[in-house]
Amino acid sequence: MKNIIRTTIILILISMALGNFVQTGYYLIRPGSAESLGDRVRVEGKARAEEGQFFMVTVAQQKANLWHFLYAVFNPVLDLRPISHVIPPGMSFEEYNRIMQSWMQDSKYLAQVIALQRAGYEVVIASDGVEVKDIIPGSPTEGILKAGDIIKAVESEDVYLAEEVVNMIQAKEIGQSVTLMIQRGEALMDVAVNTTSHLEQPEKAALRIYVSTLNWQPLLPVAIDIETGPVVGPSAGVMFVLEILDRLVPENLTGGKTIAGTGTINLEGNIGGIGGVKQKVVTAEQMGIEYFLAPEENYEEALRAAQQIEIISVRNLDEVLAFLQQ
C-alpha cells in the first residue's frame, strides 16, 4: 500500500513538473500595475502640487504553460490569446516589441500635442509618413502592400501617425474598401483593398498589417517628458493627455479624486478601444482607485469586471473633461 501511495505521489509530482515545460501556444493575459502619472510626467515649470492623481494601468502578458492555461480557463479575471494573434508567424518577439515601443512613443507625442493645443499652444507636426513594417499572413493586403511601403494618405486624407492609419481603418465597416496612397521607392500610387476583421477584436475592421510612424517628433513650445519604462503600446494615450493638461491649466482636473483609465486618442480627441480592459479594471480596483475611464466600446466589459470602482464611458476628450468638471 505504501508503495502505491509513494508511486502515485511521484507520478503527480512528475506531472506537475512537466506541466511547467509544456507550452500551449497561448499568451496568458493577467492584471498588471497602476502607475501614478504624477510621478512619471514632467512638464517644464509645472510641478504637480494638487491633491488627486491620474493613473496609467497596464496588463501583464506571458507565454502560458499547461498549468497557466488550465488556471486561466477557470479564472474569469484571466484571458488566453493565441500567440499567432499577437505576433505574426515569422516575426521575432524583438521586432514585435520594437513596433510596440514605437506605438508607445507615438502615443506620448500625440498626448503632448493634444494637451498643448487644448491649453492654447501652437504645435507643429510633421513626419515622413507611416511605414508598413510587416504583413500578417491572411491579410487582404497580401500581394498589394509590401514591407517598407510608406502610407502617405488614407481616403485622400494625409496621415502622419501610425495611430491615424489604425483609427481610420477601424472607422470602416468590415469588408468595406479603403484607398491608400503609398510611396514605394520613388513612386507614389493609390491602392484599394477591402478591410477584414481585427484578430484580437473581431468586431473591428483591420488590414492586418503592422505599421509605425516614420521619423516624427513634434516641435514643442514647452518641454515635456513621459517616463514609461518597459510599458509598450498606445493604450495610455488619453491618460497622458489628462496628466499633461492638468499641469498646463490653472484648475485641478482630478478634483482631488483618484482616476485611472485607458484608451488610445487621436488628434481630433476621439478615444479608441483597447484590449485587456477587464484586467485593467481589476488592477485599478485592487489599488483602491475611485474612477475608471473606459472607451465607449469597452464600457460593457469594464462594467462587468467592476465590483466597487465607478466606470465612466467616454467617446472623446470633451466627454472626459465634462465628467471631470462635474
Question: What are the tens digits of pLDDT across the range 238-265?
Answer: 999 999 999 999 889 999 999 999 999 9
CATH code that applies to domain 130-213? 2.30.42.10
Positive or negative: CA dihedral 76, 77, 82, 85:
positive
Q: Are 214 and 131 in contact, with CB atoms under 8 Å apart? A: yes
Torsional class of 185: left (φ above 0), alpha (ψ -120 to 50), beta (otherwise): left
Ranges in the chain annotated CATH 3.30.230.10: 31-63+91-120+218-324
d(CA 118, CA 113): 9
Site of grid cell 502592400: 145
pLDDT of residue 192: 96
The fold of 31-63+91-120+218-324 is Ribosomal Protein S5; domain 2 (3.30.230)
Strand-pairing partners, residue 41, are 226
> Which residues of the chain carry a pLDDT beneath 70?
1-22, 49
Look at strands 291-295 and 258-261 and give their pairing.
parallel
pTM of full prediction above 0.85? no
In the chain, alpha helices (H): 2-19, 66-73, 83-86, 93-118, 162-170, 237-248, 277-286, 299-305, 317-324
Ranges in the chain annotated CATH 2.30.42.10: 130-213
Largest Cα–Cα separation, the chain: 82
d(CA 111, CA 109): 5
